[in-house]
Amino acid sequence: MSNDLGRLEDLPIDYRDQLTSENLVPLWPSLRGVLPPHVPTRKTQPTHWAYQAIKPLLLRAGDLTPIEKAERRVLVLANPGHGLEKMQASAAIYLGMQLLLPGEWAPSHRHTPNAVRMIVEGEGAYTTVDGQKCPMSRGDLILTPTGLWHEHGHDGTDPVIWLDVLDLPLVYYMETSYHVNGERQQVQPGRGERAYGRGGVVPTQVFQRSGKRYPMLRYPWVEARAALEAMAADEPALECVQVTYVNPETGEDAENILGYYALMLRPGQTLKLPARSPACVFHQIEGRAQVQVSGSDFTLEAADTCCAPGYEAVTLRNLSADQPAFLFMADESPLHRKLGVYEVRA
């Protein structure tokens, strides 16, 4: 079958004008644009954001704009393929670097997009989510799922910076994105990571069922790192040393649209990841790594972030010969699986 389809210009102008007046569009001139052969059209470009370039600009934002005027003091990591004004890293992923200074409080609100916080630098800050106070330390993952009240406070002495990851582009595209402001939360006793922080054991649900959609909101890096190191030591032949952040009561992904993971590269290791349909974000927690994707080659220093488009293989290489490297990853896998479009290509 020929791929040559009729062009819009081939149609008489009076016919085109009639279509326009009735809010009609002929499909065939645009069919290959929306249904290209074999591989989707992607706007997401391989993009690298260097933390050493971001940090001084974020700190200057702290001088220029008080928290009372900003509400959330964030620099968006925008993918140029989508246009900087779209404020998205991929089709479904938004990224932002957020700053909270000592003594500041970012007021309570809730919104329809799901969010997580990957803590980059600093101590003494916390996020209160649904009444649960979650301390922030480097490498911790904190959930602020759809509809849950959350706020940020800082009792420490130095700036705290974290990476925000949201499914905002998708929720906005669906015309369901909004927020509601609220009052300062009362902190409730109990923290999910204390009850669910050990692999293989959970509270006996006959007696202790949380009744919450998100029973665990803080995933401490110290636990995730220990799990990765234990896996690597226990299975020396294991090629991909990776863990998935999950709901400990159900085993499902921690949130329902984006997936979150931690990956360890052994000293000097090169890891080839197959081409998969979802776009993926890599954030360097510890060490240095090289990322190769779609003809682009990035060096990730500590706290650097990059984005890889879907349907492209990715090669990761630990640049240290004697120390492991640790990366946080976010992708669109849960969404793709729900939609039935998830693919892995050899």
Q: How confident is the model at residue 191 (pLDDT cuts 50, 70, 90)?
A: confident
- As a whole-number percent, the residues of the chain with pLDDT over 70 amount to 97
User: What was the pLDDT predicted at 1?
Assistant: 45
pLDDT over 80 at 4, yes or no: no
pLDDT tens digits, one per residue of 319-341:
999 999 999 999 999 999 999 99
User: What was the pLDDT predicted at 55?
Assistant: 98
What's the mean pLDDT in 158-182?
Answer: 97
Neighbour order of strands in the sheet with 259-265: 47-49, 305-308, 280-286, 325-331, 259-265, 241-244
Six-digit token pair at 61? 């934002």
pLDDT tens digits, one per residue of 91-146:
999 999 999 999 999 999 999 999 999 999 999 999 999 999 999 999 999 999 99
Mean pLDDT of the chain: 94
Q: How confident is the model at residue 213 (pLDDT cuts 50, 70, 90)?
A: confident
User: What was the pLDDT predicted at 331?
Assistant: 98
User: What was the pLDDT predicted at 64?
Assistant: 97
CA distances from 256 to 40, 212, 322, 330, 337 (A): 23, 14, 37, 12, 10
pLDDT over 80 at 147, yes or no: yes
CATH topology of domain 47-197+206-345: Jelly Rolls (2.60.120)
Task: Using a cut of 0.75, tell me whether the model's pTM lies above it.
Answer: yes
Q: Are 51 and 301 in contact (CB under 8 A)?
A: yes
Q: Per residue, what are the HEC states of the chain?
A: CCCCCCCHHHCCHHHHHHHHHCCCCCCHHHHHHHCCCCCCCCCCCCEEECHHHHHHHHHHHHHHCCHHHHCCCEEECCCCCCCHHHCCCCCCCEEEEEEECCCCEEEEEEECCCEEEEEEECCCEEEEECCEEEECCCCCEEEECCCCCEEEEECCCCCEEEEEEECHHHHHHCCCCCEEECCCCCCCCCCHHHHHCCCCCCCCCCCCCCCCCCCCCEECHHHHHHHHHHHHHHCCCCCCEEEECECCCCCCECCCCCEEEEEEECCCCEEEEEEECCCEEEEEEECCEEEEECCEEEEECCCCEEEECCCEEEEEEECCCCCCEEEEEEECHHHHHHHCCCCEEC
User: What was the pLDDT predicted at 208?
Assistant: 57
User: What was the pLDDT predicted at 288?
Assistant: 98
What's the mean pLDDT in 179-192?
Answer: 91
pLDDT tens digits, one per residue of 295-306:
999 999 999 999
For the chain, the domains span 47-197+206-345
- As a whole-number percent, the residues of the chain with pLDDT over 90 amount to 88
User: What was the pLDDT predicted at 207?
Assistant: 52
